[in-house]
Amino acid sequence: MSTSADRRNAMLSIDKLTAGYGLAPVIPDLSLRVEAGEILAVLGRNGAGKSTLAKAVIGIVPEVSGSIHVGEAQVVGLAAHRVARLGVAYVPQGRGIFPRLSVRENLALGTRARRDRQPSVDEQIFSYFPLLRRRLDQQGGTMSGGEQQMLAIARALCAKPDILLMDEPSDGIAPMVIDFIADLLPQLARDMSLAIMLIEQNIDLALAAGDRCIVLDRGSVVHQGPPEAFQDPAVLQKYLAI
C-alpha cells in the first residue's frame, strides 16, 4: 500500500484499484505510480483493461474502488470535470476532437480545465505544433487523422495539466506522425514535468517514448521493466502475441 511519503514523490499514485462496469471487474486489484517527468507505457492485448485504467483515473468508469491520488488529492468518486481541474488531461482513442469546431475553438475548450481559469492558449503550444497556428480557422473535421491527433494532444495541453493520459495515439495515423509523437512525448515530459501514461498497442512507439513499460492482462500487471527489456522476442511472444 502506498504511503503519504510515496504519494508526494509520485504525480499519479494508484493503490489496489478495482474498476469496471458491473459483474466481474475489468481491473481487479491494480497498483502503480507515475512520477513527474516520467512516461509509463501501458501495453497489453485487446481487452486487457488498458482503456478502463485511463477512464478510471479521469472518473468515467461507473464502479471504482481503491485509491487514485493525483499528487495528494484522492480522486476516486470525483466527477470528471473536477479530476481535470486537479491537473489530469486525457487524449482518448479516436482523438475525440469536435469536428465542426475550428482549431481555435477546440483549443479554447481545452483551456476551460485550467486551474487558473485563464482562457488563453499558451504560445508554447504552438512551438510544439506550428501547423496548428496556420490552421486556427480550419474545421477540425477537415484535417487529416494525424493533424487531428496533434490537435487532440494540443487541446489537452491547453489545460496546463500535471498528468497526461493518452489512449492509443497511434490509432489510424501515418507512420510519420507516429514518429513525431515518439519524439514529442519525452520532450513534453521534460519541458512540462508531465507524468504521462501512454496506452499503446504499437510496440515501437511505446518502447521509443516510454521510460518504463508494464503489460496488463485481465486488468493486472503481468510484466514490467525498462524498454530495453522488451526487445527480447521471447518476452513479446509471451506477453503480447495474439
In this predicted model, what pLDDT tens digit does every residue of 14-65 receive, in sequence order?
999 999 998 789 999 999 999 999 999 999 999 999 999 999 999 999 999 9
Distance CA 199, CA 164 (A): 11
Distance CA 38, CA 179 (A): 19
pTM of the model: 0.93
CB atoms within 10 A of CB 101: 15
pLDDT band at 7 (very low <50, low <70, confident <90, very high): very low
Rg (alpha carbons) of the chain, rounded to whole number: 17
Domain ranges within the chain, ordered by starting residue: 4-98+161-239
**Residue 22 in grid coordinates:** 458491473
Segment 122-172, tens digit of pLDDT: 999 999 999 999 999 999 999 999 999 999 999 999 999 999 999 999 999
Distance CA 80, CA 222 (A): 29
Return the CATH class of domain 4-98+161-239: alpha beta
Query: Would you state the pLDDT for residue 23?
Result: 78
